Structure 1
Amino acid sequence: MMEDTESTVMEDFCLHINTKISNIKKYFKLRKIGKEKHLKGLLQKIGKDMILLNVLLDKMETEVNQQEKMKHLLQELQQAAERDLKEAQHLLAHIPPHLPKPAQKSVPVPTVKHEEQMKVAEPEPAKRPEHAKKPEPAKQPAKAKRVIKNMALITAEEFALVPAYLKGRLGYNQINAVIEEINKAVVGKYKIMHRPLKSMTFTARNLYSRFIEEETKDTKGEFFIVDADIKAFTQLTLDKRFHNILSILRHCHRLREVRSGKLVHYIIC
């Protein structure tokens, strides 16, 4: 056993000595190459290539570091996306079977002010004998209040049934936001329409005149607005997106369009 160990050590020692001798021979060869004129150019070219190789290695190291940072960022994004996906799946699994349809808004507008509120209370006359009593005048019926018709909001069930080619990238809340703006225009218009002419300002009278001119036999008795009303009473932009939403509202029977020449009347359903 002892002999085998000594043999192994001796072999390793011999290998080490032979390696050293081989390296010394290579050194001598390289020294000879440096002294030979026709090989100096080759050595200079090798030196330049080594410098370029070092530059490339530095760039590669920088790129590897950037890729490592990008990898960490992508991992964080993946984790965030997985969390959002779990939340979305949870919400999807717990959607109620139906959402209540919002009640249609109505804005009461009195036709005239009650005279009773304007008059000062008068003292009651002295009582007369029964035979001298005058017949009491018939009581005036209470003034009826006019109601401005508003467009009801779209429910989640209705939105789910809208064809995909109509919805595009539009969301449920975006459509209802436009409905609320259209309702503002309707209320703004018909508040002016229901006011007495004597109480109107110059601007309101001009609007009133336009409202009357825009009425046709097809719009008689209906609540409607036109593009000019939307511009006057809302901040909406009458662009392609707006007209796409109008198509959805027509599909959901919230409004219908009646054309009179170039003018389009949006009638509230």
Structure 2
Amino acid sequence: MMKDMAYSSLEDLCFHINEKISNIKKCILLRDIDEDECCKPVLHKMQNEVILVHELLNKMETEIKQQEKLRDLIKDIQTATEREQKEAQHLLEHIPTYLPKPTQSCITVPTVKDEGQTEAVEPKHTKKPAKGTKVIKEAALITTEEYESVPGYLKGRITYDQVNAVVQQINKAVVEKYKILYQPLKSMSAPIRNLYHRFTEEETRDTKGLFFIVEADIKEFTQLKLDKRFYSILSILRHCQRVKEVRGSGLIHYIIC
């Protein structure tokens, strides 16, 4: 058994040495192969193939680098998307209860022809007011973005809800006033007629065609107190372009923007 193992090892060694010698001979033959005219075309073809393979490898390397950049970009987008999704989910689960509800910018009231018809018709959601109706313009509620943009010296301790509460009361006064103005005189009671005459007397050249109220209207149609906080809220509404002031005839006219 020892003899077989030694023979096998010696045979392997001889094979290995002979293979090396054969490779050396091939290298020696290839060293001068370019001098053989019959082999030159083959060598040129091999050279061209090597060049093509080299160019292909360069293109593959460039493409791999681009794919790696694209992969990194996709990872960044995925991370940003996941973050935005979490923020959106958080906002969805924590919607503030004080966001303003949609409000109509105007309502319509009928043009009354019969003496007994004095009640306003409920507004209809149409693009244009129906024939025989008149439009009453209202101020839109303040959005949270607008409230945040108000300078601190104007807001003070006034809350978002307090501002919109005043907007709603101003709208109430505007609607009640112009419902009266749109009524025929014959259908009015004596107190309503007195209000009508006051409204017309308070109009000036600067308020013609505009919707406005004065402090007397606020006292007449709302429960608002005309105190320091009320006038501070008016400053906020002027800043947010919901109302503007026009002075004339000894009055301040609050015009709806």
Please classify the TM superposition score into its range, dividing by the shorter chain length: 0.5 to 0.7
TM-score by structure 2 length?
A: 0.55
The alignment status of 1:161 with 2:179, answered yes or no, reads: no
Separation (CA, whole Å) in 2 of partners of 1:219 and 1:155? 27
Query: SS where residue 169 of structure 1 aligns?
Result: coil
Preserved CA contact (<8 Å) 1:255 1:266: yes
Root-mean-square deviation (CA), in Å?
A: 2.6
Separation (CA, whole Å) in 2 of partners of 1:237 and 1:100? 23
Unaligned runs of 5+ in 2: 1-89, 117-129
- Taking only the aligned residue pairs, the percentage that are identical comes to 68
Moved over 4 A (4+): 93-96
Separation (CA, whole Å) in 1 of partners of 2:211 and 2:179? 12
The alignment status of 1:214 with 2:191, answered yes or no, reads: no
Residue of structure 2 equivalent to 1:102: 102
Preserved CA contact (<8 Å) 2:245 2:252: yes
Counterpart amino acid of residue 172 in structure 1:
Y
Structure 1 residues 204 and 114 mapped into 2: Cα distance closer, same or farther (>3 Å)? closer
Preserved CA contact (<8 Å) 1:101 1:155: no
Which of 153, 158, 170 lines up with 1:182 in the alignment?
170
Aligned length: 153
Post-superposition Cα deviations, 1:232-262, rounded to whole Å, max 9, x if no partner, equal 0000010110000000000000000000142
Which of 247, 250, 257 lines up with 1:262 in the alignment?
250
**Offset at 1:101?**
7.6
Structure 1 residues 200 and 114 mapped into 2: Cα distance closer, same or farther (>3 Å)? closer
Separation (CA, whole Å) in 2 of partners of 1:102 and 1:170? 22
Counterpart amino acid of residue 220 in structure 1:
K
Post-superposition Cα deviations, 1:131-186, rounded to whole Å, max 9, x if no partner, equal xxxxxxxxxxx743101101100011110100010000000000000111111100
The alignment status of 1:146 with 2:105, answered yes or no, reads: no
Unaligned runs of 5+ in 1: 1-89, 119-141
Residue of structure 2 equivalent to 1:247: 235
Counterpart amino acid of residue 198 in structure 1:
K
Residue of structure 1 equivalent to 2:29: none
Separation (CA, whole Å) in 2 of partners of 1:187 and 1:101? 19
